[in-house]
């Protein structure tokens, strides 16, 4: 499966008109950076970026970021893409959009897994700061933070397209048999894969893309142990997070769920496909 088709026509001219009409003091040169599943991102000048939904399904996600990132940023020690300005529909574009800071660096997806070990501690500390009880009005997400059983149908549907499904299915079934999260619904990033972690010369520079922001079972985020790291770095990560055995094993199940999604749905995105293959390798190790 390939990247879904865009439901809005977005190009540099449109983005320039939106910025100049609504935030003229921030207008500047634009460079296309990403055209992903849900959003288009342009760099604006040297210090800012513009993030615009390309599909209706992403609209609520960007509104959630605008509402909640300023709150969550108070509890973590790593930079987040807290909105600088919020944009409104206009110039023929139908949805809200955001201007955020631009962070220099490269994503962990652009670094071999063996070279990511230095962020195991900082990423664990970020999650420890983030994973605090969320208010009742926190965003709801039907595919993150929920009991693993809610993802069973989707995972099994993907299995026939996965080469190692015979090995992976017992891991999935073992995860399903674990007790569900019994604690309060905690704040979650929701999509902790390497493409959402920005690195610089000092280590973890920023955590990006809170489109899947929600609350629920922290095992969803702890799946990063398999999504991002190899076996040795995973042990460092585990030593810094507060997770009982059941939560840790559910995290492995979440990693498998996310890994099968990446492996099955990234036919036109080699970087994401490689992440999927890495995850499936790792969940079969431990």
Q: Where are the domains of the chain?
A: 12-101, 106-283
Q: Domain spanning 106-283: which CATH class is it, in words?
A: alpha beta
The per-residue pLDDT for 232 is 96
* Token code pair at residue 271: 């970087």
Residue with tokens 């990132």: 69
Q: What's the whole-number mean pLDDT along residues 201-210?
A: 93
This model's pTM is above 0.95: no
CATH fold of 12-101 reads: Phosphorylase Kinase; domain 1 (3.30.200)
Q: What's the whole-number mean pLDDT along residues 67-86?
A: 97
Q: What is the chain's mean pLDDT, rounded?
A: 95
**pLDDT bracket for residue 5 (50, 70, 90):** confident
Q: What's the whole-number mean pLDDT along residues 49-62?
A: 94
CA distance 225 to 107: 16
CA distance 116 to 54: 31
Q: How many other CB atoms are found less than 10 A from the CB of residue 250?
A: 26
Residue 2 has pLDDT above 80, yes or no: no
Region of 190 on the Ramachandran plot (φ > 0 left; ψ -120 to 50 alpha; else beta): left
CA distance 215 to 72: 12
pLDDT digits (tens, 9 = 90+) for 7-48: 999 999 999 999 999 999 999 999 999 888 789 999 999 999
């Amino acid at each position: 499966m390939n990247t879904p088709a865009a439901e809005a026509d977005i190009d540099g001219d449109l983005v320039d008109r939106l910025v100049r009409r609504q935030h003229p003091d921030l207008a500047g040169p634009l460079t296309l950076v990403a055209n992903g599943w849900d959003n288009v991102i342009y760099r604006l000048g040297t210090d800012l970026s513009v993030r615009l939904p390309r599909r209706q399904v992403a609209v609520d996600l960007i509104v959630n970021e605008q509402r909640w990132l300023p709150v969550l940023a108070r509890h973590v020690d790593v930079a987040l893409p807290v909105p600088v300005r919020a944009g409104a529909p206009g110039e023929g574009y139908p949805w809200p959009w955001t201007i955020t800071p631009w962070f220099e660096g490269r994503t962990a997806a652009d670094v071999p897994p063996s070279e990511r070990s230095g962020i195991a501690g900082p990423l664990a500390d970020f999650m420890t700061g983030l994973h605090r009880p969320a208010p009742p009005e926190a965003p709801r997400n039907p595919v993150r933070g929920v009991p693993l059983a809610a993802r069973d149908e989707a995972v099994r549907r993907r299995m026939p397209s996965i080469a190692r499904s015979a090995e992976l299915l017992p891991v999935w079934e073992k995860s399903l048999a674990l007790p569900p999260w019994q604690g309060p619904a905690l704040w979650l990033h929701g999509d902790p894969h390497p493409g959402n972690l920005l690195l610089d010369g000092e280590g973890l520079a920023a955590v990006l893309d809170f489109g899947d922001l929600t609350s629920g079972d922290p095992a969803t985020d702890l799946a990063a142990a398999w999504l991002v790291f190899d076996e040795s770095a995973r042990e460092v990560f585990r030593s810094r997070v507060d997770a009982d055995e059941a939560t840790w094993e559910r995290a492995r199940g979440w990693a498998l769920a996310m890994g099968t999604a990446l492996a099955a749905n990234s036919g036109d995105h080699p970087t994401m496909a490689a992440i999927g293959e890495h995850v499936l390798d790792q969940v079969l190790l431990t």
